Amino acid sequence: MTGSDRAETIDAASKGLRLMAVHAHPDDESSKGAATMARYVAEGAEVMVVTCTGGEAGDVLNPAMDRPEVHEHMDEIRREEMAKAAKILGVQHRWLGFVDSGLPEGDPLPPLPEGCFARVPLEESTEALVRVMREFRPHVVITYDENGGYPHPDHIRTHEVSMAAFEAAADPERFPEAGDPWQVLKVYYVHGFSRARITAFHEALLEAGQESPWAEWLERWDPDKPDVMERVTTQVPCADYFEQRDDALRAHATQIDPNSRWFAVPLEIQRELWPTEEYELARSLVDSTVPEDDLFAGVREKVSS
């Protein structure tokens, strides 16, 4: 098979399929399911990331970027970072246009700012996402679970908006001015930070005589807390795209320290021990049997028929 023949075969693998990933902040798309998206783009699918907020309330987490001018222009910088990451992954991108709620701290917790994403009426944010869904017409949507993946108010709201939009987008009575109805066929929750995955990397590093950045994290892990792997239904092989994922993550330079534990495990170890990204099938209107290794399982047949 020649190079051009192989390219045509890959292109045909997912041609006509559309995947949407709905995230709370810029950088979430690169730390949650980025290699999966890059794989499907390479195979010919259309992929769109929808970012609900601008990430304006985010802290500068990379010491090299912790400068006064960065804090002053955080909203502009995070938009530039998102554009770079989207280009690296090859995805389309839309801002939903809401304001970062921030992560409240203190005891008692302070109220969230007026007008932030988590306080905007659900009907308003749902209509905004329905409008994008009806325009892009995704077959599959990726979002967070009911806990937001972790309890950030914007992540929890992203779950609520995504699930409400899944129902509303297909209903001609809901938001008739937001475009023609469209039925999403499958919804997945993206899962990360599996204890099993981190343990595998931790033990591999120790066996190789290297220091593991996960030792303290594993020691603090609540033994009674269930591993997210108990909820996983779908593991997508995407090891060939881990480097692309990491490049996209590094594009969010205010949020990601290139010397952090995000990049501590060599890619060859990751590819050997854990070559997948994990998802939970939350809604499906097509026949598919779990466990799966493809987000479009059951969808490919329906779209091509």
Contacts of 139 (CB under 8 A, 6+ apart): 17, 18, 19, 184, 185, 186, 296, 299, 303
- Token pair 């998102």 in the structure block, residue: 82
Q: Does 159 belong to an annotated binding site?
A: no
Burial class of residue 151 in the structure, from the number of CB atoms within 10 Å of its CB (0-12 exposed, 13-18 middle, 19+ buried): exposed
CB atoms within 10 A of CB 226: 9
- Token pair 């892990």 in the structure block, residue: 221
Is residue 155 within 8 Å of residue 103, measured between CB atoms?
A: no
End-to-end CA distance of the chain: 27
The Cα 6–Cα 78 span in angstroms is 37
Q: Which two tokens stand for residue 117?
A: 């994403």
- Classify the phi-psi angles of 227: left when phi > 0, otherwise alpha if psi is within -120 to 50, otherwise beta: beta
Which of 265, 196, 262, 264 shows the shortest CA–CA distance to 235?
196
Q: Which two tokens stand for residue 41?
A: 């783009």
Is 187 strand, coil or helix? Answer: strand
Is residue 26 within 8 Å of residue 252, measured between CB atoms?
A: yes
Would you tell me the crossing angle of helices 34-42 and 74-89 to the nearest 10 degrees? 50
Q: Does 202 belong to an annotated binding site?
A: no
Q: How far is CA 125 from the centre of its chain?
A: 19
Q: Does 25 belong to an annotated binding site?
A: yes
Is 96 strand, coil or helix? Answer: strand
**Binding site for Zn(2+): which residues?**
25, 28, 155
Binding residues, by number, are: 25, 28, 155
